[in-house]
Amino acid sequence: MIASMFIIVLTARQSLAADLEWIKVSDDNKGFVLSESGRPFVPWGFNYDHEGDGRLIEDYWDDEWAIVESAFREMKELGANVVRIHLQFGMFMESPTEPRQSSLQQLERLVRLAEQNGLYLDITGLGCYHRSDVPTWYDQLNEQQRWQAQTVFWRAVARTCSESSAVFCFDLMNEPIVPGGDRKRDDWLGPGFGGKHFVQYITLDRAGRERPEIARQWIHTLVTAIREYDQKHLVTVGLVPWSLDRPGLTS
């Protein structure tokens, strides 16, 4: 009987995952479509970045998983098809070269939950939303070392999620920006908002480089790392309009 129940549960899980078609960019590059049926897909959903008390998902998903389950059910009932989650770098990395396995296991569990609820995930990474959770060693890395640590993060996440059609996309970072001007910065995080730091710098010193050049190289570095384990999922990056160069103005 126990074996039969296990088979039923496993089969149901596989069926739910199979019901979620992979998503791809449409042939005209103007939207998204479901890969098998060809039907248009319009992302519609929620940012699931913190609870009302300010806690981020990694703060409670170990001991209070029922909160996560309830939130996913509610978002589905409200008509969402995508949930954007925000993974914090410090919660996923033990060191610059070693990801935290317990967090990757919880991420895998979250992917299964999305499958069970018929929801897609926008997995945003490299968060440093709570300054107190940012490892001291992370802030001490130079630019290239920091980028390399970020590739370790994304390789681990991509490897964990590569087989699931419930992943809509990987979002490299919430709001990465390159500083304007020639003055060297001393802080990787942008100004706080409501106790959280959603903006993050990808370099402290332009060192004579053009801003787009730095951004392109950073994106190329992280996407290359993801593609080592995942050649199928979409990859995007957060953007703030004022981080773009405009005639006569740079920020």
For the stretch 97-154, pLDDT in tens is 999 999 999 999 999 999 999 999 999 999 999 999 999 999 999 999 999 999 999 9
What distance lies between CA 196 and its chain's CA centroid? 17
Q: Is the pTM of this model over 0.85?
A: yes
| 74/99 same-domain check | yes
> Which runs of E-coded beta strand occur in the chain?
23-25, 32-34, 40-41, 45-48, 82-88, 93-95, 98-99, 120-127, 167-171, 175-177, 199-201, 234-236
* 120 strand-pairing partners: 82
Residue 219 identity (one-letter amino acid): I
Mean pLDDT of the chain: 89
Range of the domain at 19: 1-41
| 172/193 same-domain check | yes
Q: Can you tell me the distance from the alpha carbon of 99 to that of 101, in angstroms, rounded to the nearest whole number? A: 6
Task: Tell me, yes or no, whether 61 lies in a domain.
Answer: yes
| 239/118 same-domain check | yes
| 88/32 same-domain check | no
Neighbouring residues of 174: CB distance < 8 A, sequence distance ≥ 6: 86, 124, 126, 127, 198, 199, 200, 238
Nearest to 124 by CA among 22, 211, 212, 234: 234
Collapsing DSSP to helix, strand or coil, 126 comes out as strand
Each residue's pLDDT tens digit, 147-174: 999 999 999 999 999 999 999 999 999 9
